Structure formats: structure tokens, C-alpha cells
Amino acid sequence: MRPITQSSKLAGVRYDVRGPILQEAERLEREGHQILKLNIGNPAPFGFEAPPEIVEALCQALPGAQGYSDSRGILPAREAVARHYTELGIANVGPEDVLIGNGVSELISLVLQALVSPGDEILVPSPDYPLWTAQVTLQGGRAVHYPCDELNGWMPDLEAIEQLVTERTKGIVLINPNNPTGAVYSAELVRGFAALAERHGLVLMADEIYDHILYDGASHEHAALHAHETLCLTFSGLSKVQRVAGYRSGWVLASGNRALAADFLEGLTLLANMRMCANVPGQHAIPAALSPESNWSGIAELCQPSGRLLEQRNTAHALLTAIEGVSCELPGGAMYLFPKLDPERYPIADDQRFVIELLRATHVMVTNGRGFNLPTPDHLRFVTLPAVPVLTEAIGRIAGYLDTVRVD
């Protein structure tokens, strides 16, 4: 019989965060090994609890959340999102400009399905959150990666980005704070992205899921504050800041020149209708999370001195950079480290294979840098969510392994 094969649309689509490395970790677990997982930004397994008012709101709503909602999302959730961004200074947005999704991941998929035709180009950072590249590729488009400069704190160069714009370019992705580098972009740089998008008529897609996870006085600038003549799409949700990744509560806000994008927005609405609606119980967490009475101080305390997230970032950074031949920019936000292994000391040809060998030897799982569309095989991504003793144990094992493979 003829074999059943995957769609040709999947050619070139990668998502290494949950790919072969995870499969090898699962095989080792079946053999009885305990794996220290530093690969996924999922707060719950590491003891981070959601603000109680969010859990209470979902529990109270559960009996009445058994049916479909409006495909755009329940009105109180959309009103809460619109009000939140209005209070931040983003003008002329209302609940009709908000679409609720099963996390930001689903919304990225819907937006790129509605926007990208075969052959279209989307400017995406390198390194990036790999779902952006994967979804552009899946829609038959081409992800054109603009480099972020490690020697300049992983900041992108706007002049270099502008040279990549062609007649096929439809949009530009801004991930701020960045995953995987943790870079937090200045207000001037964000304004520059908005100006570039407006000059070329590009959709500005701002992935801001880590907007409140900031360290050392870093400040986050919302891209929508500066995009007026073109369409700006702001993606965010409750998974990281509110620590409820499993609720799958995310949103995208359309701002700027919506009239220019009427046809695209009609297509996005069509796709939203086709998936019926997002998880309804999870939507009821959004008004509580974004209310004036919400515990926004909870995430701030985690990021301040003596807070878990800051302490864990500092500990992991210090331990990694103490390893011979390992360097790492100190991130200003998010929950990751993206260290570099000196290619002269660690001549890695295939970083995925290297990470799998590291996993087998140490039972510590991290992700390879090329899984984030970095062109060189010399970086790893670490999640800094585990408690300090776990991070210390994991990085100690890694340091021991690196001692055995380093070229002196």
C-alpha cells in the first residue's frame, strides 16, 4: 500500500524546542532517568503560582463557561484588553480591535495564515522565537532573518534591516523582550521599528508576552505607541507574566491604520470564526488579570532584588560565565540565558547533536541555538525558571561535561 506521508507544506518547518531533543529526553525518562529540564519557559513545574484572583475568577466562571463564546472572545475579556492598552496610552482602540486566542501561539498562526501568500516575505529576528519562522514557512512565505548583534547586547541594526526590505515584504516581527536573548529594546529603537514599518507599509507585529518581566531597572516600550500610519498587531497574554501558561489565554490587539488593513482583518475574522472560539474558561481569567486591583506587584517582586526570577538569572549567569570558553550577555528581561560556546574551544558542527549528547551524558536538557534560527552552531538556550539549587546542580553537570570536550 502507498505510505501515508506528511504534507509538503511541512518541508523546512522546524520547532526544535519540542523536537528531537525532547524525544530523547522522554526516552531517557522511560528508562528511569530523571531529567533536569531547562528547555521550556513553563513557570508552573518550577513552583511559580498564579495570582489567586485569577484562579478564583476562572473557578467562579466555570459553571457558566460550558458553551462556545463569540469567536473573537468574550466581551469582558476584550474590553479588559482594550482598556489596558488605552491606559498605557494607545489611542482609539476598543473591544472590536481585540481577538482572544488559545495563547499567543495560536494567534501567530492565525495572523500569518491571513497575511502571508506564497512567496511573501516577513522580517524576523535572528535569533527568534522559532514559531514565527515556522509559521511563515508553513504558509508558503519566506522568513528573512535580520541579525541581532551579540556584541551590542543583541540589539538589531535598523539600517541593516531596511536593506532587507523588498517588494515582497509584508511585515516585520519585533520580539521585545526578546526570546531567547532576553534583550530589552530602548524606546528609541522601538520608535525606529515603527518608523521603518510605516515607511514601507509593513505590518508591525510586536510580540510582547514578557513585557513585565524586567530586571535592573529596564523599561519596556510598547510598539503600538508609535505606529499610526500602518497596522500594528500587539501579541500578549497570561502565560508568562501571570504564570498561567496552561490556561491558554492570549490576545492580539490591532491598532494604527485599521482602515488600510480592512481586507486582512476580514480574513483574520474568517479564520477566527472557523476555529469557533478560544478556550472559554481561560478567557474569564483575563479581566481579573488586567483589572486595576490585580496583583501586578507579584511579577515585579519576582524580578526585584531577592526575587526568585532575578536571583535565578544572576546565579545561572554567574555559573555559566565561570566555565572556561563560555560567555553570555546578561539579559534585561524574560526568563532565558543564551550563552555562547567559544567555537575555538568547542568546535561544534551540529549543535542539535551536541545538545543530545550533552543530555545523554548529564541528564540536563537545554535547547540548541540554531533551533532559534541563529546561523551558527555555538549557542545554547537555558531557561532560568528552576530554583537556585536545581540551576546549580544542572550547570555543574554541564560544566563537568564541557571539561571533557573542550579543546585546550
Task: Tell me: pLDDT of 81 over 70.
Answer: yes
Closest C-alpha to 364, from 390, 327, 343: 390
Burial 345-369 (b: 16+ CB within 10 A, else e): ebebeebbebbbebbeebbbbbbbb
Which region, left, alpha or beta, applies to residue 119 given φ > 0 means left and ψ of -120 to 50 means alpha? left
Q: Using one digit for the tens of pLDDT, what is the confidence trace for 95-104?
A: 999 999 999 9
Q: Using one digit for the tens of pLDDT, what is the confidence trace for 269-317?
A: 999 999 999 999 999 999 999 987 676 668 889 999 999 999 999 999 9
pLDDT of res. 167: 96
Q: Which residues form the domain of 360?
A: 8-49+303-405
In a domain, 95, yes or no: yes
pLDDT classification of 65: cutoffs 50, 70, 90:
confident
In a domain, 3, yes or no: no
Q: Using one digit for the tens of pLDDT, what is the confidence trace for 23-42?
A: 999 999 999 999 999 988 88
pLDDT of res. 16: 67
**What is the CATH classification number for the domain harbouring 43?**
3.90.1150.10
Computed over every residue of the chain, the mean pLDDT equals 93
Q: What's the rounded Cα separation, in Å, for the pair 77 and 249? A: 10
Task: Tell me: pLDDT of 239 over 70.
Answer: yes
**What is the CATH classification number for the domain harbouring 96?**
3.40.640.10
The helix/strand/coil state of 322 is coil
C-alpha cell at 173: 516581527
Q: Are residues 285 and 335 in the same domain?
A: no
C-alpha cell at 231: 497596522
C-alpha cell at 304: 526585584
Q: Are residues 316 and 286 in the same domain?
A: no
Q: What's the rounded Cα separation, in Å, for the pair 117 and 19? A: 27
The region of weakest confidence among 8-12, 396-400, 401-405 is 8-12
Long-range contacts of 9-14 (CB under 8 A, 24+ apart): 9/138, 9/140, 10/138, 12/137, 13/134, 13/137, 13/138, 14/130, 14/133, 14/134, 14/371
**Under a CB-based contact definition with an 8 Å cutoff, are residues 344 and 407 in contact?**
yes
Query: What average pLDDT does range 155-162 have in this prediction?
Result: 96
Q: Are residues 204 and 328 in the same domain?
A: no
Q: Are residues 122 and 141 in the same domain?
A: yes
pLDDT of res. 74: 96
Q: Are residues 22 and 139 in the same domain?
A: no
Torsion of CA 23, 29, 34, 36, to 10 degrees: 10
Q: Are residues 275 and 308 in the same domain?
A: no
C-alpha cell at 35: 531529567
Task: Tell me: pLDDT of 77 over 90.
Answer: yes
Q: How many domains are contained in the chain?
A: 2
pTM for the predicted model, two decimal places: 0.93
- Provide the 8-state DSSP code for 133: H
pLDDT of res. 297: 65
Percentage, residues of the chain above pLDDT 70: 98
In a domain, 271, yes or no: yes
Q: What is the CA radius of gyration of the chain?
A: 21
Q: Are strands 142-149 and 121-126 parallel, antiparallel or unpaired?
A: parallel
pLDDT of res. 39: 87
CA-to-CA separations, 289 to 29, 58, 132, 212, in angstroms, rounded: 36, 11, 26, 13
pLDDT classification of 186: cutoffs 50, 70, 90:
very high
